[in-house]
Amino acid sequence: MTDLTTQERVSQRVPLWRDVVVLKWVTQVFLLIVVLGAMWFLANQAGDNLRARNINTQFDFLERPVDIQLSEGIDTLPNTGGRALWAAMVNTLRLSIAGIFFATLLGVVVGLARLSDNWLVRRLGSIWVETLRNIPLLVQMIFYFSVLTTLPRVGLGTGPINGWLHISNKGISMPRIFIADGFYQWLVVVLLGLIPAWLVRRYRQKIQDQSGKNTSPILWAIGTIGAFALLGLFVHPAFSWLGAVFGGIADLVDSLPNAVPQIGFAALAVGCAAVWIQRFLSDHRSARGHLSLTDDDWFRIAFAAIASLAVVFVVVSWSGLSAWTLNSSRDLFEVLSDKFNVDGAARPFDAMRPDIIQKGKFPNYGKSGLTMSLGFASVFFAVVFYTSAFIGENVRGGILAVPKGQAEAAKAVGLGRGQILRHVVLPQAFRVILPPTGNQYLNLTKNTSLAIAVGMSDIVQVGTTVFNQTGMTLPVVAIWMLFYLSCSLTISVIVNWFNVRMKLVER
Amino acid sequence: MTGLDSSNVSSTTAGGQPPAATPVSKIAPPVTPKLSIWEWVKENLFSSPFNCGLTVVTTVILLAIFRGLLAFIFNPVRQWNGVATNLRLMMTRAYPEEQYVRIWVCVAVILILTSLSMAIWHAGSALSVSEVGRKLLTTGTILVLFALLAPFSTAATMLWLLVALVVLGFAEFLRRSSRGLEGQTISTLTLLVLTLSGLVASLWVIPYGHHSYIPKRDPRVLAEPGTVALSTKLPWTLMLVIAVVAYFTGRALRDRLPANATRITLIVLWLLAPPALLYLVLRDPAFDMNHVATTDLPIFAAYAIGGTALLSWLTRPSTGELGRIVSAIILLAGFCSFLTPMRMIVRIDMLALAIFALAAPTFSGGPRAQKRYVASWIGLLGVMSWLITAINTPSTVSVPGGFFIGGMSITLMVAVFTLVISFPLGIALALARTSSMPIFRLLATWFIEFVRGIPLITILIFFSIMVPLFLPRGMHLGEVAAVIIGYVLFSSAYLAENVRGGLQSITRGQQEAADAVGMTSAQKTLFIVLPQALRVSIPPLVGHCIGVFKETSLLAIIGVFDILYIGRIVIPGQTEFMGSTKENVLFVSLIYWIFAYQMSKASQRLEQRTGLGER
């Protein structure tokens, strides 16, 4: 026993309780069990408590009537909970998109101001940044709101430009352009236009590569899409047959048995695991095809297989999930079919001017204008100003990050000031500016949720009202999280796409 | 005004004066040509026609903003006495007046700790006299503008102009007299103390008026002319004296005590101060001595003795695998204890002991190391038992409605507690996310990305409503505690991302070197990787602290009585001050601004002092 050779010592396996790999995996599985157990315990507890209070956690409140009045948006008196949440989501999206646009504009101005040659402009920029960055957004928002509520009352002659722009303590009302019934058919025409646009761009690019002249392929592609958009205004009624197609798909989905999505999900889970394992194995195969796997790798493979089986189990045992998938895809196609089933005379777009109507004793804004309530205005100004300070700092940092030699070299070649900025400094600065600014866009979107403090009907405010009326806290919170997570995901995907493009330009 | 002054430094060094000896002038050119005022103006404001136009437009905008702001503030319609009368409400809500000495004790303790830390860490820098003169010149100019633009009566304008002229004259005197002596400097701390003494002295001299609001009295608002109440000016004077004395004590002690030990003691005191002040001083628990003697002390003694024996065995380097197995069994027992009914403190102590036992091999060594480890266990156990007992004991201070403090105090409390608790959690998450173990990585990544994807307010609403539902029957958690739990989870996800940035900056060579000297992976992480990673991530961490402090304002939305809620809802609800929301919110934003701006300036100074960001 005692006189083992080195060879034998090495070949002898370590006992199981001293094997680092085994210990690591035991710890991990233990932690996983603790986390899942804690979640199960909490969910169970919540379920018991909710049942004790006679609260059921179903999503059917989305179809039942609620008593909610929204401050603004596509539907101010929604008749169901789902419609109310939908209108509120549109409000949040409006606020975020407008906010991102204006915050970017203002932020660039602030950033450039902080780099100006002019002492006074520089000073103004830094006062802007240092003041707004160091006061909480919510405090700013409430301050703007309390100032805006002192605006004059609405009257029949409310200005500044009566009939076009009204500013009063009922909000800001202006002309609006909106999507009318024919929009979806028109959109099909525009989407069809993408194919020729792509072809045109490739063709122009080829000419440019051959001749060396600037043939502006991107501009040509945009022009092609524009031509199709114009054409679409006249020919869009030709696509109303799509309504029947979508209706047919909806009927088909409706007739599918519950097992179809179940089998689909299960196959997806198993397929993903199989593909992952296959790739893992091929990665660990040497050039001669020899497979060498450590214990840790075996654990990984086993974990992937077990996880996919667990997903299959959940999908099969939870039939509500597949039923929900079927129902919601049927609803989606039904909505699409409704959108296309309009008569041929419908226009894709329409425009209206704001008006003031007198119903009873007091004048008020009519429905025809695009009205921004005071809450919306204060949230809007607050997020735009606040984010502009941060974006301004990003812009400043990005421009400072471009080596001075670059601009000097460009000057030596004889480029003008504008050309240096456009072709040399900004493209390089943009690469530094974009990632943190993308983060600011995410923050802005999340920050619009503070609208609840000034009574603007965003998704959080309406969601709170809905669960106060129905008691459905968990479903509403789930909807919030899903909505914000998908917003965040969308923005990160867009920003990352730009990021990757910028990186490709580099080399 | 502070903003103008201190950011002036970097821009005016480019303008002409020799760069100051402070580290503030980061981009000071090697040789700056001396420009006269007119040359400077021409260079910086009127160098080209475009620049001239820009200057004119900006001047108009700036003057309009300044004037608008002053017209807003000094409009006779404004009800500033709403703020003045309710200052106590805004700071501490309804804390009983006869117990107010407790608040002052807390302020004094924090001030003493601050002064001591300033002395021990050599805070402050030296300013040259001409620098001070230039700053005063700027202040004087702003005062002149202020006097001319504010909607004052002629007499008041004259008075303010006179003050401005005095300041300007003094500044010019300083500038002229410092011509010969370039090396003459003043400490920034001296300036700070001078300014604060001026402010405190003005409480005794200038008739701000005696405002107070007592709901049970008629008339409820008392606004007498004269200087402020004695209950305000006396404590503040005392506080200033205490702070100055503490600073000089710290300076005297600095050279006599061992530097490292003093610093660690101070850090421990800083960590202990918030919970101790809150739960022992402000809350004043009525300890049931009988219960303490029969239950709490025996539990403490059992854990202290058992823990000492266990840990001194575990920290012996000769203890092998058996120690690890024993610690794992204790951890398992700690988790299983949640399945059977027993006192919460027993479970918490057992989990803490398990963590100490698991970490023991990392700190193992000779008798000194063993003793230190056991001492830190007993210390932590003592503090934990003391605090848990204090929190579970009913308070003797009766505060109407809800939590026992409110206003600014609760803002600070939530911010401090959130940061302190989320710090270890965030580090753990960051380590898990960068670890090589896939399940840890997956769980940490999902948690972090999920939390970062949703707004804070949804988390706070969820926790304030749902936590009572998640708890087993018979267990209660106050709303503030529930909200802090949610905020901690939120903050730790962001903190983890900041720390992860630091972790990724540690080169492989460091880890390999640690491997080469035979460190275990826990020792490698604790003693090699983390200290370097945290040092790199100081700037984003300070930014995170500022963010957490600012976002405590969201508590107002879920109805916690913080300073914003009081300013927006409570004060305008008093019949005397209806419609005073704007003034109150402006005051609140000023307070937040001062705190956040000072923190960001401090972080910039820290960055320059430690030379971060230059490597």
DSSP B380-426: HHHHHHHHHHHHHSPBSS--SSSSS--BHHHHHHHHHHHHHHHHHHH
Is there a single domain that holds both residue B86 and residue B104? no
- The answer, for B173 touching chain A at a CB cutoff of 8 Å, is no
Question: Does residue B319 sit in the same domain as residue B365?
Answer: yes
Q: How high is the pLDDT of residue B399? A: 77
From CA A388, how far away is CA A365, in angstroms rounded? Answer: 31
B162 and B172 part of one domain: yes
Give dist(CA B50, CA B60) in Å, integer. 16
Distance to chain A for B151, nearest Cα, Å: 20
Claim to verify: residue B245 and residue B337 sit in the same structural domain: no
- Look at residue B30 and tell me if it is in a domain: no
Amino acid at A216: S
E-strand stretches of A134-243: 160-161, 165-168, 171-174, 176-179
Instruction: Examine the domain organization and report whether B100 and B249 are in the same domain.
Output: yes
Give the pLDDT score at B52: 86
Nearest CA in chain B to A443: B455
Interface of A with B in 46-65 (CB under 8 A): 46, 49-50
pLDDT at A480: 92
Q: Spell out which residues of chain A touch residue B564, defining contact as CB-CB under 8 Å.
A: 136, 138-139, 142
CA distance A194 to chain B (A): 32
pLDDT of residue B590: 94
Q: Does B472 touch chain A (CB under 8 A)?
A: yes
Q: What is the mean pLDDT of chain A?
A: 85
CB contact under 8 A, A28 and B439: yes
The answer to whether A400 faces chain B, any CB pair under 8 Å, is no
Residues with Cβ within 8 Å of A369's Cβ and at least 6 positions away in sequence, in order, are: A166, A173, A174, A175, A176, A352, A353, A354, A355
What SS3 class is residue B23? coil
Q: Is B454 in Cβ contact with A485 (below 8 Å)?
A: yes
Domain positions in chain A: 62-160+368-506, 185-349
Q: Are residues B292 and B415 in the same domain?
A: no
Q: What is the mean pLDDT of residues A105-117?
A: 90
Give the orientation angle of helix A183-211 with respect to helix A217-235, to 10 degrees.
150
Residue B585 pLDDT: 93
- Choose the most confident range, by mean pLDDT, from A11-15, A362-366, B222-226, B581-585: B581-585
Residue B5: what pLDDT?
35
CA distances from B520 to B360, B513, B534 (A): 12, 12, 20
Dihedral sign for Cα A446, A452, A454, A455, please.
positive
| Cβ within 8 Å of residue B601, ≥6 positions away | B6
CA distance B226 to B427: 54
* Residue whose tokens read 């970017």: A104
In chain B, residues with a C-beta closer than 8 Å to the C-beta of A135 are 550, 589, 592-593, 596
**pLDDT of A380:** 94
On whether any CB of chain B is under 8 Å from the CB of A44, the answer is no
Q: Which residues in chain B are contacts of A34 at CB distance < 8 A?
A: 335
H helix or E strand, kind and range, residue B210: strand B210-213
Q: Is A205 helix (H, G, I), strand (E, B) or coil?
A: helix
Instruction: State the pLDDT at residue B136.
Output: 87
Q: State both tokens at B492.
A: 């730790």
Examine the domain organization and report whether B408 and B366 are in the same domain.
no
In a shared domain, residues B140 and B172: yes
CB contact under 8 A, B582 and A120: no
Question: Does residue B39 form part of some domain?
Answer: no
* Neighboring chain A residues of B26 at a CB cutoff of 8 Å: none
B514, B614: one domain: yes
Query: Beta-carbon neighbour count of residue B496 at 10 Å?
Result: 28
Report the chain B residue with the minimal C-alpha distance to residue A22: B437
Q: What is the pLDDT of residue B8?
A: 35
CB B281 within 8 A of CB B102: yes
CATH number of the structural domain spanning residue B536: 1.10.3720.10
What range does the domain containing B125 cover?
Answer: 96-254
pLDDT of residue B615: 41
* Whole-prediction pTM: 0.86
Judged by a CB distance cut-off of 8 A, whether residue B229 touches chain A is no
Among candidates A50, A120, A460 on the partner chain, residue whose Cβ is nearest the Cβ of B457: A460
| pLDDT band (50, 70, 90) for residue A195 | very high
Best residue of B325, B441, B458, B565 to probe chain A, by most A CBs closer than 10 Å? B458
Confidence of residue A11 (pLDDT cuts 50, 70, 90): low
Count of pairs with CB atoms under 8 A, one residue in A, one in B: 164
* CB < 8 Å to B600, chain A: 133-134
Q: Are residues B577 and B483 in the same domain?
A: yes
Assess whether B422 and B549 both reside in one domain. Answer: yes
Number of domains in chain B: 3
Question: Which fold, A62-160+368-506?
Answer: MetI-like fold (1.10.3720)
B307: which residues sit within 8 A by CB, 6+ positions away? B353, B356, B374, B377, B378, B381
Domain-located, residue B1: no
Q: Which residue numbers in chain B have pLDDT < 70?
A: 1-35, 179-183, 473-474, 610-615
A contact residues 411-440, partner B, Cβ 8 Å cutoff: none
Closest-CA distance of chain B to residue A316, Å = 24
pLDDT digits (tens, 9 = 90+) for A278-315: 888 888 887 777 777 777 888 888 888 998 999 898 88
Q: Residue B217 falls within a domain, yes or no?
A: yes
pLDDT, position B493: 94
At residue A108, the pLDDT reads: 92
Select from B8, B66, B90, B469 the residue whose CB has the most chain A CBs within 10 Å, as the one to mutate to test that interface. Answer: B469
Does one domain contain both B368 and B436?
no
Q: Which of residues 501-530 of B touch A (CB under 8 A)?
A: none
Q: Please compute the mean of the pLDDT values over residues A158-174 and round it to a whole number.
A: 82
B429, part of any domain: yes
The answer to whether the CB of B348 falls within 8 A of the CB of B391 is: no
**Contact criterion met (CB below 8 Å) for A126 and A111:** no
Instruction: Give the whole-angstrom CA distance, residue B303 versus residue A449.
Output: 47
- Cβ(B353)–Cβ(B380) below 8 Å: no
pLDDT at A7 over 70: no
Is B445 within a domain? yes
Cis peptide before B394 (omega within 30 of 0): no
Dihedral pair phi/psi, residue B473, rounded to 5°: -65, 140
Residue B267 included in any domain: no
Count CA within 13 A, CB hemisphere, residue B455: 28
Among A114, A119, A141, pick the best mutation site for testing chain B contact (most B Cβ within 10 A).
A119
Contact (CB<8Å) A140/B440: no
Taking residue B21's Cβ as centre, other Cβ atoms within 10 Å add up to 15
Q: Is there a domain that residue B419 lies in?
A: yes
Q: Inspect the interface and report whether the beta carbons of A28 and B62 lie closer than 8 Å.
A: no
**CA B276 – CA B264 distance, rounded (Å):** 18
Contacts of B451 in chain A (CB under 8 A): none
- Is A50 close to B471, i.e. CB distance below 8 A? no
